[in-house]
Amino acid sequence: MNALSEKDKKYIWHPFTQMKDWEAEEPLVIARGRGNYLYDTEGRRYFDGVSSLWVNVHGHGRKEIDDAVIKQVKTLSHSTFLGLSHPPGILLAEKLINIAPKGLRRVFYSDNGSTAVEIALKMAYQYWKHKGCDRPLFLSLKEAYHGDTIGSVSMGGMELFHEIFRPLLFKTVKAPAPFCYRCGLGKEKDSCGMACADELERLMRENGGKISALVMEPLVQGAAGMFVHPEGYLRRARELCDKYNALLVLDEVATGFGRTGQLFACQHENVSPDILCLAKGITGGYLPLAATLTTEEVYEVFLGDYAQFKTFFHGHSYTANPLACAAALANLEVFDKDGTLQHMPEKEYALSEGLEMIKKLPHVGDVRRKGFMVGIELVKDKKTKEPYPPAEKIGIRVITEARRLGLIIRPLGNVVVLMPPLSSTLRELKRMTEITRKAIISGTGF
Ligand SMILES: *Cc1c(COP(=O)(O)O)cnc(C)c1O
């Protein structure tokens, strides 16, 4: 074991990691990133198959973004956004509003996805308060993931991550996740979406006038295991929010910035939310930054005389960090320069072709994909969909094998996730799916 690994084990507590397992193994220490690859301290090269946890967009060490950050470091690294402003923050807000779904007019910055959601909740709640309504409830989906702070965990529905904190969380109403492979309502594939939307309506009717907002990940529930929603569900959710007079908060922290093939996932269904949460891909995977966008309608309700205290009392030390804003501006420019979204259809085609081979494997129960978000669910029995028990660590076995073959991926339980950078080439996509296939065969024994 080298000196760095030793110090890692001595001093660090890693996120979402059972440290007992970590301490028993040799950690992989990443020294360098270039293009769609990461290099460890031994100089071994790995394809970044999960975009460094879903954040990277155009690859590592992208010159335009590097240069923008370097230029900004030499100008201004940080100054507060409380009571002051700065050029990169202003210019990025303008740019975000220009590309955002229609109706969104105001940008409130923070620094990660969890806070983007936290802000959305407080904004929605306070909005109704100012309008003279007490609406203490939020409606969210089962198996949702909106981040790890207590407010966003309250919105979440992942038993595994959230159960222990249940007594600390505020009350929410949970609607079934429209996940057709394992429909929570026990429906068949083609009737699951409709039945789940009907249930959503029932919950809204039942709690009429008490719900501040419906909070959801549009089209794909990422951390749940890449649950791809049936077409039309989001549109229906928007209609229900209008009918029952609740705000729609869309958490596009994972789906935003081209991940699903459109710049924002809600654009697939021509839906605009009242509040939109962005983070992860916003800086191209360079620096922590988040934004919560809203309409002029929501914004205006907070206007009033100073002593009325209608102010939105929320902010962070690093709100709108200029380095991060500069990276985000450069990231968006690269979208135009590379024609990133224009190239998505052919890349998605290549990816889906590679996945066809994986679908046929005997322990692959379901392969779900929207754009560059892929979930491969491994099952003990393909016919009955019987899951692998957690003790078998099947996901971990597969990704360990993939790593040996030069691919970094990360599982969500028994679901192998592929989420490559949008800059991946057709060849790289093919190689990624080939390695994944081999790793599943070794991991499952078939
Ligand atoms: C990752 C994620 C978050 C949390 O973002 P962090 O930056 O990790 O706090 C919230 N919502 C969704 C949908 C996510 O995928």
Residue 139's nearest CA partner among 271, 291, 245, 295 is 245
Query: Of 109, 253, 259, 260, which is best to mutate to test ligand 1, by the most ligand atoms within 8 angstroms of its C-beta?
Result: 253
In angstroms, the CA 431 to CA 446 distance is: 20
Residue 364's beta-bridge partner residues? 378
Residue 434 confidence (pLDDT):
98
Is it true that domain 67-338 has CATH number 3.30.450.20? no
Residue ranges matching CATH 3.40.640.10 in the chain: 67-338
In angstroms, the CA 258 to CA 421 distance is: 10
pLDDT tens string 24-53: 999 999 999 999 999 999 999 999 999 999
**In this model, does residue 187 exceed pLDDT 90?**
no
**Which residues are within 8 A (CB) of 305 and not within 5 positions of it... i.e. 6 or more apart?**
none
User: Is the distance from the beta carbon of residue 147 to the nearest atom of ligand 1 less than 6 Å?
Assistant: yes
Protein residue with least CA distance to atom 8, ligand 1: 113
What is the DSSP code string of 296-314?
A: HHHHHHT---GGG------
Give, in degrees to the nearest 5, the angle at Cα 194 between 192 and 195.
65
The conformation of residue 27, written as its DSSP 8-state character, comes to: -
Task: Work out the pLDDT band at 172, boundaries 50, 70, 90.
Answer: very high
Residues 125, 135: contact at Cβ < 8 Å? yes
**In this model, does residue 162 exceed pLDDT 80?**
no
User: Is the distance from the beta carbon of residue 222 to the nearest atom of ligand 1 less than 6 Å?
Assistant: yes
In angstroms, the CA 19 to CA 426 distance is: 37
The conformation of residue 400, written as its DSSP 8-state character, comes to: H
Residue ranges matching CATH 3.90.1150.10 in the chain: 3-57+341-444
b/e sequence 19-37, b meaning 16+ C-beta within 10 Å: eeeeeeeebeeeeebebbb
**In this model, does residue 417 exceed pLDDT 90?**
yes
Residues 152, 186: contact at Cβ < 8 Å? no
User: Is the distance from the beta carbon of residue 279 to the nearest atom of ligand 1 less than 6 Å?
Assistant: yes
CATH code that applies to domain 3-57+341-444: 3.90.1150.10
Largest CA distance in the chain: 69
pLDDT tens string 327-348: 999 999 999 999 999 999 999 9
Residue 249's beta-bridge partner residues? 215, 275
- For residue 51, the CA-to-ligand 1 centroid distance in Å is 14
pLDDT tens string 204-259: 999 989 999 999 999 999 999 999 999 999 999 999 999 999 999 999 999 999 99
Query: Of 141, 146, 219, which is best to mutate to test ligand 1, by the most ligand atoms within 8 angstroms of its C-beta?
Result: 146
Which token pair is 307? 């002593």
Residue 60's nearest CA partner among 375, 311, 298, 283 is 283
Task: Work out the pLDDT band at 273, boundaries 50, 70, 90.
Answer: very high
Residues 227, 221: contact at Cβ < 8 Å? yes
